[in-house]
Amino acid sequence: MHKKLLILFFLLSFLLWPCIALADGFEQLRCNSADIKTVQARFVQKKSMKILAKPLISDGRFFYASPDSFRWEYLKPLRSVVLSGKGVTKRYIMSGGKMVEDKSGGVKAMGIVLGEITNWMSGKFDQNPSFKTALHEGRNTLITLTPVEQNMAGMIEKIEISVVRKTMVVKSVKIIEDKNTATVINFSNVEMNKGINASIFQDVE
């Protein structure tokens, strides 16, 4: 009996080892995120810029399913949906009372940006070589991403991701474009590993 318990202990230790041995910084975040299969949340986005007296507020919802399916949906003021899966990203907008595919050409770039946020939501913070990452522990964990490429630096000054330390759930994302311009996305009702119907990633409506 003691022998069996000892074997079980060793087996568990072996399975947990990466999380225990590398229980610092991004490795821990990666380790904790390994079990994330789905994420869904509501969000409120606040866009601040010099031309606006008060932030422009957008509401939406977000779905992710491992490994690469996501749905970003804005409910107001501009109803739009970005669907991504198997390397294909499409965006739809409300036009004349129905959702039509956006053919403006910026979809690919938007897919990259949203895909990046999806990575963060699922715990992958330091996998894009375009950003230098730093982690600051506090009441919440704050991850700062600074662009390393010059062309990106002209668009984004830095990105701050706040993660609830206890649950490792992304609380907010702040994209700072310059000293006057920033977008803050606050997530709420975050649910992890709850079943999501496959149609969420396929059907626009």
Which is it for the CA torsion 11, 16, 18, 22, positive or negative?
negative
- Using alpha carbons only, give the angle 91, 196, 103 rounded to the nearest 5 degrees: 5
Structure tokens at 108: 């690919």
User: Closest distance between another protein and the C-beta of residue 147, in Å?
Assistant: 14
The DSSP code for 77 is S
Residue 149 in contact with another protein, rule: CB under 8 A: no
Residue 97 in contact with another protein, rule: CB under 8 A: no
Residue 205 in contact with another protein, rule: CB under 8 A: no
Figure out which of the listed residues 183, 187, 196, 201 binds another protein, where binding follows CB under 8 A.
183
User: Closest distance between another protein and the C-beta of residue 96, in Å?
Assistant: 7
* Cα 97 from Cα 93, distance rounded (Å): 10
Figure out which of the listed residues 14, 104, 150, 199 binds another protein, where binding follows CB under 8 A.
104
- Cβ atoms of residues 107 and 90 within 8 Å: yes
* Cα 145 from Cα 156, distance rounded (Å): 10
User: Closest distance between another protein and the C-beta of residue 97, in Å?
Assistant: 11
User: Closest distance between another protein and the C-beta of residue 43, in Å?
Assistant: 11
Binding-residue pattern over the window 7 to 46 for another protein, x denoting contact by CB under 8 A: --------------------------------------x-
Cα separation values, 100 from 71, 75, 157, 187, Å = 16, 15, 33, 27
Structure tokens at 110: 């938007």
Residue 175 in contact with another protein, rule: CB under 8 A: yes
The DSSP code for 153 is H
Q: Give the DSSP per-residue string, 92-109.
A: EEEETTEEEE--SS-HHH
Residue 52 in contact with another protein, rule: CB under 8 A: yes
Residue 110 in contact with another protein, rule: CB under 8 A: yes
Residue 56 in contact with another protein, rule: CB under 8 A: yes
Question: Which residues bind to another protein, rule: CB under 8 A?
Answer: 45, 47, 49, 51-53, 56, 58, 72, 74, 77-78, 80, 93-96, 100, 102-106, 110, 113-114, 155, 175, 177, 181, 183, 185
